[in-house]
Structure 1
Amino acid sequence: MTDFTTRPEIRGTFGVATSTHWLASTVAFGILEKGGNAFDAAVAAGFVLQIVEPHLNGPAGDLPIIYHNAEKSETKVICAQGVAPAAATIEHYKAQGLTLIPGSGLLATVVPGAFDGWLLLLRDHGTMSLREVLQPAVDYARDGHPMLPRVANTIASLSDYFAKEWPTSADVWTPNGVAPKAHELFKNPDLAATYQRLIDDSEAAGGARDAQIDAARKAWSEGFIAEAIVDYLETAEVHDVSETKNRGVLSRDDMANWSATYEDTLSYDYEGWTVHKTAPWSQGPVLLQTLAILKHFDLSSMDPMGEEFVHTVIEAMKLAYADREAYYGDPDHNDIPMDTLLSDAYNAERAALISDKASLEQRPGRVAGFEHLADAYIKRAAQDFGVKDAAPQEPTMAHLTEKRGDTVHLDIIDRWGNLVSATPSGGWLQSNPIVPGLGFPLNSRAQMYWLEDGLPTSLAPGRRPRTTLTPSLAEKDGARIAFGTPGGDQQDQWQLIWFLRMVHHGLDMQEGMDAPLFHSMHFQGSFFPREAKPGEMMIEPNVTEGTIEGLRARGHVVTVAAPWTVGRLTAALRNADGTLQAAATPRLMQAYAVGR
Structure 2
Amino acid sequence: MKIKLLLCTLALAGVHYKSMSQAFNNFPVTTQKPPLHGKHWMAITGKPLAATAGAMIFAKGGNAIDASCAMLASTCTMWDVLSWGGETQALIYNPKTKKVIALNAMGVAPTGATADFFKNKGMKYPPDLGPLAATTPGTAGGLMTMLAEYGTMSLKQVLAPAMQLAEGYPIEAQTANSIERGKEKIKQWPYSKKVFLPHLGDKREAPDAGEVFVQKDLLATLQKLVDTEAQALKKGKTRKEAIYAAYDRFYKGDIAKEIARGCQEQGGLITEQDLANWKVKIEEPLMTTYKGIEVYKMQSWTQGPVMLQALNMLENFDLKSMGYNSSRYVHTLYQTMNLAFADRDYYYGDPAFAPEEPIKGLLSKEYAKERIKQINWERNDPKTLPGDPYPFEGKTNPYTDQIKNWGVKQVSQRNVNGLDEKFMEEFTAGTTSVEAADEEGWVVSITPSGGWVPACIAGNTGVGLSQRMQSFVLDPKENPFNVVEPGKRPRVTLTPSLALKDGKPFLSFAKQAGDEQDQLLLQFFLNIVEFGMTVQEATEAPSFKTLQMYASFGDHEKEPGGLILNEAMPDWTRKELSRMGYKNSYQPRTSGPINAIYFDWIHGTLWGGSSNHGEDYGIGW
| Residue in structure 2 matched with residue 266 of structure 1 by the alignment | 286
Per the alignment, residue 529 of structure 1 pairs with 555
Q: In the aligned structure 2, how far is the partner of 1:527 from the partner of 1:303?
A: 34
Q: Which of the numbers 260, 265, 274 marks the counterpart of 1:230?
A: 260
Gaps of 5+ in 2: 1-6, 8-26, 415-419
CA deviations 1:469-521 (Å, max 9, x no partner) are 00000010234321010011110011000101111110110111111121111
Equivalent position SS for 2:490? coil
**More divergent stretch after superposition (265-274 vs 381-390):** 381-390
Classify the secondary structure of the residue corresponding to 1:558. Answer: strand
Shift of 1:194: 1.4
Match of 2:471 in 1: 448
Counterpart pick for 1:205 among 223, 229, 232: 232
Q: Name the CA shift for 1:384/1:489 in 2 (closer, same or farther; >3 Å).
A: closer
**One-letter amino acid of the counterpart of residue 32, structure 1:** F
Q: Does the Cα contact within 8 Å between 1:65 and 1:77 map onto a contact in 2?
A: yes
**Is the partner of 1:176 in helix, strand or coil?**
coil
Aligned counterpart in structure 2 of residue 339 of structure 1, from 339, 351, 360: 360
Which stretches in structure 1 are left out of the alignment for 5+ residues?
Answer: 237-246, 398-404
**Paired residues of 2:412 and 2:557 also in contact (CA < 8 A):** no
Matched residue, 1:287: 307
For 1:31, which of 37, 40, 57 is the aligned residue? 57
Q: Does 1:352 align with 2:373?
A: yes
Task: Find 2:583's aligned residue among 553, 557, 562.
Answer: 557
- Cα distance change, pair 278–378 in 1 and its aligned pair in 2 (3 A): farther
Looking at structure 1, the residues matched to 350 and 109 of structure 2 have their Cα atoms a distance apart, in angstroms, of 11
- 1:188 is aligned to 2:219: no
Superposition deviation, residue 292 in structure 1: 0.8
1:591 Cα shift? 1.1
The structural deviation recorded for 1:387 is 13
- For residue 12 of structure 2, what is the aligned residue in structure 1? none
Report the counterpart of residue 543 of structure 1 in structure 2.
569
* Counterpart secondary structure, 2:607: strand
Q: Deviations over 1:122-161 (max 9, x none)?
A: 00110001110001001011031x3222212211112233
Secondary structure in 2 aligned to 1:60?
coil
Shift of 1:528: 1.3
> What SS is found at the alignment partner of 1:587?
coil
The partner residue of 2:387 within 353, 361, 365 is: 365
Per-residue deviation, residues 35-56 of structure 1 (Å, max 9, x unmatched): 000000000000101122x151
8 Å contact 1:395–1:406 — kept in the other structure? no
Shift of 1:6: 1.5
Q: Contact 1:510/1:584 (CA < 8 Å) preserved in 2?
A: yes
Give 1:35-54 correspondences, 5 Å limit: 35-52=61-78, 54=79
Partner of 1:240: none
Aligned to 2:198: 175
What secondary structure is seen at the aligned counterpart in 2 of 1:594? strand
* Shift in alpha-carbon separation, 1:386–1:365, aligned structure 2, 3 A: closer
Q: Identity of paired residues, percent?
A: 33
Secondary structure of 1:516's match? Answer: coil
Which has the larger displacement, 54-63 or 526-535?
54-63
Give the structure 1 partner of residue 10 of structure 2.
Answer: none
Distance in 1 between residues matched to 2:525 and 2:194, nearest whole Å: 44
Q: 8 Å contact 1:365–1:374 — kept in the other structure?
A: no
Q: Is the partner of 1:517 in helix, strand or coil?
A: coil
Distance 1:220 1:285, change over 3 A: same
Distance 1:384 1:487 in 2: 21
Q: Could you say which residue in structure 2 is the equivalent of 1:402?
A: none
Secondary structure, aligned partner of 2:199:
helix
Deviates more, 1:576-585 or 1:112-121: 576-585
**TM-score, normalised by the number of residues in structure 1:** 0.92
In the TM superposition, residue 96 of structure 1 has moved relative to its aligned partner by 2.1
Alignment partner of 1:82 is 2:107: yes
CA RMSD of aligned residues (A): 2.1
Q: Secondary structure in 1 aligned to 2:437?
A: strand
Partner of 2:39: 13
Contact kept, 8 Å, 1:362 with 1:523, in 2: the verdict is no
| CA contact 1:100–1:385 (8 Å) conserved in 2 | no
Contact 2:105 2:139 survives alignment (8 Å): yes
Residues 373 and 139 (structure 1), Cα distance of their counterparts in 2 relative to 1, 3 Å cut:
farther
CA contact (8 A) 1:283 1:324 kept: yes
- Contact 2:508 / 2:596 at 8 angstroms: preserved in 1? yes
CA pair 423-49 structure 1, distance change in 2 beyond 3 A? same
1:263-284 Cα shifts (integer Å, max 9, x gaps)? 0110001012100001101000
Matched AA of 2:138: G
Could you say what secondary structure the match of 2:488 adopts?
Answer: coil
CA gap 1:138/1:543 in 2 versus in 1, 3 angstroms: same
Q: Is the CA contact (8 Å cut-off) linking 2:561 and 2:583 kept in structure 1? A: yes
C-alpha distance in structure 2 between counterparts of 1:411 and 1:342, whole Å: 26
Label 1:386 to 1:503 Cα distance change in 2 as closer, same or farther (>3 A): closer
Q: 1:572 aligns with which of 593, 597, 613?
A: 597
The 8 Å contact of residues 79 and 263 in structure 1, kept in 2 or not, is answered as yes
Q: Any idea what the Cα deviations from partners look like across 1:12-46, whole Å, max 9, x if unmatched?
A: 21111111221122211221121000000000000
Match of 1:426? 450
SS, match of residue 417 in structure 1: coil
* CA drift at 1:429: 2.6
Partner of 1:239: none
Q: Which amino acid aligns with 2:326?
A: G
2:537 partner letter: E
1:345 CA drift (Å): 2.0
Q: Return the letter of the residue paired with 2:192.
A: S
**Aligned AA (2:30):** F
Aligned residue number for residue 242 of structure 1: none
User: How far apart, in 1, do the equivalents of 2:221 and 2:616 lie?
Assistant: 27
Mapped to 2, the partners of 1:373 and 1:193 lie a distance apart of 51
User: Could you tell me how far 1:191 is from its partner in structure 2?
Assistant: 1.2
Contact 2:495 2:518 in 1 (8 A): yes
Q: Describe the SS at the equivalent of 2:75.
A: helix
Alignment of 1:248-259 (within 5 A): 248-259=268-279
Residue 374 of structure 2 aligns to a residue whose secondary structure is: coil
Could you tell me how far 1:106 is from its partner in structure 2?
2.1
Structure 2 length-normalised TM: 0.88
Residues 504-550 of structure 1 deviation map (CA, whole Å, 9 limit, x = unaligned): 11011011111112111111111111002111011221232322222
2:534 pairs, out of 504, 508, 515, with: 508
Q: Is residue 77–residue 84 contact of structure 2 (8 Å, CA) maintained in 1?
A: no
Rate the CA distance shift 1:504–1:566 in 2: closer, same or farther, 3 A.
closer
Contact residue 434 and residue 446 of structure 2 kept, 8 A: yes
Residue 383 of structure 2 aligns with an amino acid whose one-letter code is: E
| SS at 1:352 equivalent | helix
The alpha-carbon distance between structure 1 residues 370 and 530, as it changes in their structure 2 partners (threshold 3 A), is farther
- The 3 A distance-change label for structure 1 pair 304 and 595 is same
SS of the counterpart of 1:321?
helix
1:172 shift after superposition: 0.7
Q: Where does residue 395 of structure 1 map in the other structure?
A: 426
Cross-structure match for 2:137: 112
Query: Quick check: 576-585 or 278-287, which moved more?
Result: 576-585
In 1, the alpha carbon distance for the partners of 2:311 and 2:125 equals 32
| Aligned mates of 2:412, 2:335 — CA distance in 1 | 29
CA distance in 2, matches of 1:484, 1:364: 26
Instruction: Measure how far apart 1:328 and its partner are.
Output: 0.8
- Displacement of 1:374 after TM fit? 6.3
SS at match of 1:339: helix
Superposed CA offset, 1:311-365 (max 9, x none): 1111110110000011111112131111211212211121122213111113211
